[in-house]
Amino acid sequence: MRFCLLASGSKGNAIWVEEGPLAVVIDCGLSAKEFKARAAMRGLDLKKLKAVIISHEHRDHIQGVGPLARSLDLTVIANAATQAACANFVGKVRWDEFATGDTMNFGHLRVQTMSISHDAAEPTAFVIESDSGALGLATDLGAVTNLVRQRLLGLRSLILEFNHDYDRLMEGPYPWPLKQRVRGRTGHLANEEAAELAARLYHSDLKHLVLAHLSQTNNTPELALKAANQALKEVIEPIAAGQDEPTIVFDL
């Protein structure tokens, strides 16, 4: 399995996952043009792409879903509540549906869905498995639930939200109601919360830890990496994904 975060942050998210001749993308908050350009930057073959899976309906996750799906003839897959929340914005596409908790099969990729706490219609996180191991994708987490802890055990790679530094959020420009939303159980994870979870999930076979969905206003890669390294005592080298360019292509 290979994966690449084409973009990660509050202005757009897209995560490419492939196994052999088939690929899927989780979310597309980039324009279709930008998505294709970034895929080309990393040598990713658009002919492999079969589907866009939507985690939830916020614009930074669906901005380019409709144009991308129409231009590449992709199926768009979401749970019923998410479809209802974003269908008008996404426009005319070929829809498929999963029930949260289902596992979907795409060739040798198995995509397990799980419920998470976030202020969307029915947000989901994912564990994607192949013969080479499992990749966990958990962003937009308002709270770390027992379900999340259990489902993210035993991974080979983990993409985890490190959204904000608490002090920068509290001292920053956001109005108080927005600060409350970010910090609430349906908001986003702070660096220290994410780092604590990552430390609990760490095991000797964890190969990649990618820090994702960093706020450009309330966080920096340096702060997120510092929190991760302190909690994990540098037993793994985390990588901070960014908004403006894709990560490397990771190989399980």
Say if CB 151 and CB 134 are below 8 A apart.
no
Rounded Cα gap, residues 80 and 176, in angstroms = 33
Say if CB 242 and CB 8 are below 8 A apart.
yes
Question: Which strand ranges, in their side-by-side order, compose the sheet holding 124-130?
Answer: 103-106, 109-115, 124-130, 133-138, 157-161, 208-212, 239-240
Residue 127: what pLDDT?
98
Closest C-alpha to 66, from 103, 23, 32, 40: 32
- Any idea what the Cα angle at residue 114 is, between residues 133 and 183, rounded to 5°? 110
Question: Which strand ranges, in their side-by-side order, compose the sheet holding 49-53?
Answer: 94-97, 75-78, 49-53, 22-26, 14-19, 2-7, 250-251
Residue 56: what pLDDT?
98
Residues of the chain with pLDDT under 50: none
DSSP-derived pairing of the beta strands 94-97 and 133-138: unpaired
- Any idea what the Cα angle at residue 96 is, between residues 251 and 12, rounded to 5°? 50
Residue 73: what pLDDT?
97
Closest C-alpha to 165, from 225, 247, 241, 232: 225
- DSSP letters, 47-104, are GGEEEEE-S---HHHHTTHHHHHHHHT-EEEE-HHHHHHHHHHH-S-EEEE--TT-EE
pTM reported for the whole predicted model: 0.96
Closest C-alpha to 25, from 83, 85, 99, 75: 75
Say if CB 158 and CB 128 are below 8 A apart.
no
Q: How many CB atoms lie within 10 A of CB 217?
A: 12
